[in-house]
């Protein structure tokens, strides 16, 4: 199960899905005269700082022979089979170490030259975020999990992207608002949807579910995975041209409100198109 978790997690750690929401509440206000306000309060997990990263790049994984019968059920290996597999394991040691070194360097590049194995890495990220406007509070809770409060408001004269982490190219997008001609704004929230569809071999099983199984099997020595759970809302006094909410817009003191409930089963990213006359 641990090997399955590594196989499932590595593409996300090394392939750009560096950040994941946990429990959260987020709101975007789009109002007349290009006025906006955005907030995100809750958890953000940085996978490269969790034990997943350690598992995915650990070059000290213990050798264990594996043998299967004709029905692909595990069976006891013979002495000859154990010897053959161990010899192959040792022959591949140099290649394994080189691959682990490359993966570790990739993680460091995604983190803006922060070494994820450094005990001070989390605090360095906290300090970096708190220097940026909008990050009012950032607290590290351990195992890659941060509790944050982010708020920003003003005039929307350019595209909006959250989160944006200075010097960290691996930060993926939770929410974006793109300005279009004709006084239109397109809102997408790709970070508030399931991130495991790139692994069809696991049947769409959420990463957190696999981790929980591995944790139970291995006596609890596995990472905790933040499961997305929260709400994303858009409040606007503009004309809602399109959206993919279940119930559509509802009345609000400021105009109308769109609301999405996000959890581990959410497959479709929230999206809306809003126009201002």
Rounded Cα gap, residues 275 and 75, in angstroms: 63
DSSP annotation of 77: P
Give 193-245 pLDDT, tens digit per residue. Answer: 865 444 433 334 444 444 444 444 455 555 577 889 999 999 999 999 999 99
Higher pLDDT, 133 or 207: 133
Mean pLDDT, to the nearest integer, of 83-96?
88
Q: Which tokens sit at 260?
A: 């999405």
Residue 176 near residue 160, CB atoms below 8 Å: yes
Q: Are 258 and 271 in contact (CB under 8 A)?
A: no
- Parallel, antiparallel, or unpaired: how do β-strands 229-236 and 19-31 relate? parallel
Q: Among 6-15, 26-35, 202-211, 242-251, which is the least confidently predicted range?
A: 202-211
Q: Where are the domains of the chain?
A: 2-275
In this prediction, residue 130 carries a pLDDT of: 93
pLDDT score for 52: 53
Distances (CA, A) of 113 to 3, 70, 168, 215, 243: 28, 48, 8, 31, 39
């Amino acid at each position: 199960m641990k090997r399955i978790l590594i196989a499932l997690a590595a593409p996300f750690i090394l392939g750009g899905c560096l950040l994941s929401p946990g429990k959260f509440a987020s709101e975007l206000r789009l109002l007349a005269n290009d006025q906006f306000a955005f907030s995100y309060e809750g958890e953000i997990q940085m996978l490269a700082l969790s034990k997943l990263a350690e598992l995915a790049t650990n070059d000290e994984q213990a050798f264990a022979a594996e043998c299967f019968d004709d029905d692909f059920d595990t069976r006891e290996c013979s002495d000859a089979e154990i010897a053959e597999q161990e010899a192959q394991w040792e022959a591949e040691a140099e290649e394994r170490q080189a691959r682990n070194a490359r993966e570790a360097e990739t993680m460091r590049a995604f983190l803006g030259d922060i070494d994820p194995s450094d005990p001070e890495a989390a605090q360095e990220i906290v300090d970096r975020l708190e220097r940026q406007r909008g990050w009012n509070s950032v607290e590290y809770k351990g195992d890659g999990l941060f509790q944050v409060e982010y708020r920003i408001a003003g005039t929307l004269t350019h595209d909006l992207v959250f989160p944006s982490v200075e010097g960290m190219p691996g930060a993926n997008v939770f929410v974006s608002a793109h300005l279009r001609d004709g006084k239109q704004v397109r809102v997408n929230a790709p970070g508030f949807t399931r991130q495991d569809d790139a692994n069809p071999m696991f049947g769409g099983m959420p990463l957190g579910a696999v981790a929980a199984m591995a944790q139970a099997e291995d006596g609890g020595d596995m990472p905790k995975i933040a499961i997305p759970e929260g709400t994303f809302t858009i409040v606007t006094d503009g004309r809602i041209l399109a959206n993919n909410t279940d119930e559509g817009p509802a009345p609000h003191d400021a105009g109308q409100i769109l609301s999405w409930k996000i959890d581990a089963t959410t497959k479709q990213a929230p999206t809306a198109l809003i126009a201002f006359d």
